[in-house]
Structure 1
Amino acid sequence: MAQSSSRTRPFKLDEIDLNILDHLQTSSKITNAMLAEKVGISPPSTLERVRKLEQRGIIRGYVALLEPKELNKSITAIVQVSLGEHSHENLTRAKKSIGQFDEVLQCWHTAGDQDFVLHVIVSDMLAYETFVTEKLSTVAKIANIKTAMVLRTVKQTTCIPLDEVNTGD
C-alpha cells in the first residue's frame, strides 16, 4: 500500500471518515457494501474514502488477530534493554538486529532508563532463555536486560480512540 507524505500535508478527517475507521478497526472483514450502509454513503464513495485513507497511511493494513496460546506461544515478556554505548552505529545495529527477531512483536526506541522496550512472545521459558542468551545479548553493546513476565493480559486492543481526533473543523 502506498504511503504518502501525510506529515507535510495534513489530511482532514470528517465524521464519515472517522465512522469508517471506527468500523474497520473493530471488523476489518466487513464488506464495502455493509460498511457503506453503516456509514450512510454509497459503496463507490465508501471505497474511494477507504482508498484515500490507505494512500495517506492512516490505514496501514489489515490483519487477523491470532490467539498465541493456541499456537504454542504461551510466554509473553516485556523486555527492557539498555545499551552500554549510545553511538549512532551501536543504536543502528541494535535497531536492525532487534527488528529481525521473530520473537519480538513490537520494539520501541525509548527515552529514559532503557533504550528499547520489547514485546516478546515465545513458547516456554527455555525458548525465552535461548532468545536472551543466543540472540538478544549478542545484538550490540548491551549494558542491561530486564524482563517482566506477563502473568495475564488484562486489556488488549488494536483500536485507536477516535473521539478526540482533529477533524479540521
Structure 2
Amino acid sequence: MLDHTDLAIISLLKTNCKMRFSDMGELVHLTGQAVSSRIARLEKEGIIRGYSVLLDETQLGKTITAYVTVFMKTTNHRNFHVFIKNQDSVREASRISGEGCYWLKLSVGSETELNHFLDEILQFGNYRVNLCIDKIK
C-alpha cells in the first residue's frame, strides 16, 4: 500500500526526476537515504516503471504534431505493431475503442515526412489526420 509519503515522493519525481534525494527528503520529512529506499521499493514493486526525458520537439526540427486515427483493414495487428515501434516519428500509440482502432501522435519535420508516413499506413488500413495548431498543456 502507498502512504502519503510515497505519493508525495512520486509527485516530486513527476515534477523533477533528477531532484536529489536529500532535497526530496527535506520536503517529505525523511533522510535522503530513506527517500532512496522508498524509491527503490516503488521501482521493485513496478509502481515506478522508468524515467523519461521531455523534449521540445520544435527545437529538434519536428515542427508538425499530427494525431492520426487508424482504421485497420485486417485483423492481423502484429505487423502494424512492429511497424509503429520502428517509427521514430511516432511519439505515442494507443489501441482505442470507439471510432477507429489506433490513435497515434506523430512529430515530424515537414509535410513531406508526414505524407510519407501516411502512405506507409495505407498498407494496414485507412486513417484520419488532425494537426496540432497550439499546445495548451
Same-fold call, TM cutoff 0.5 = yes
Match of 1:105 among 91, 96, 114: 91
**Is the Cα–Cα contact under 8 Å of residues 79 and 118 in structure 1 kept in the other structure?**
yes
Q: 1:159 corresponds to which residue? A: none
Residues 1:145 and 2:134 are matched in the alignment = no
Do the aligned partners of 1:98 and 1:136 also contact (CA within 8 Å) in 2? Answer: no
Is residue 2:111 matched to residue 1:125?
yes
| RMSD of aligned residue pairs (Cα, Å) | 1.2
- 1:27 and 2:13 matched: no
Query: Which of 31, 49, 61 in structure 2 is aligned with 1:72?
Result: 61
Between Structure 1 and Structure 2, the one with more helix by share is 2
What is the distance in 2 between the residues matched to 1:112 and 1:96?
Answer: 23
2:10 counterpart SS class: helix
Task: Provide the C-alpha distance between the structure 1 equivalents of 2:99 and 2:115, rounded to a whole number of angstroms.
Answer: 23
Question: What CA distance in whole angstroms lies between the structure 2 residues aligned with 1:33 and 1:136?
Answer: 48
Deviations 1:132-157 (A, max 9, x none): 11x3223x3x1x210001101111xx
Q: Does 1:46 align with 2:32?
A: no
User: What letter is aligned with 2:115?
Assistant: E
TM-score for the superposition, normalised by structure 1: 0.77
Out of 70, 73, 78, the position equivalent to 1:84 is 73
Note the residue ranges of structure 1 that are not aligned, 5 or more in a row.
1-11, 156-169
Consecutive unaligned residues of structure 2, counting only runs of 5 or more, are: none
* Aligned pairs, number: 137
CA distance in 2, matches of 1:107, 1:55: 26
Check whether the contact 1:79–1:147 (CA below 8 A) recurs between aligned residues.
Answer: yes
What is the Cα deviation at residue 85 of structure 1? 2.1
Q: Distance in 2 between matches of 1:63 and 1:98?
A: 19
For 1:137, the aligned partner's letter is: L
Normalised TM-score (structure 2)? 0.94
| Secondary structure in structure 2 of the residue aligned to 1:77 | strand
Identity over aligned residues, as a percent?
A: 28
The C-alpha deviation readout for 1:40-85, integer Å capped at 9, x for no partner, is: 0122211110011111222122222111111100000000001112
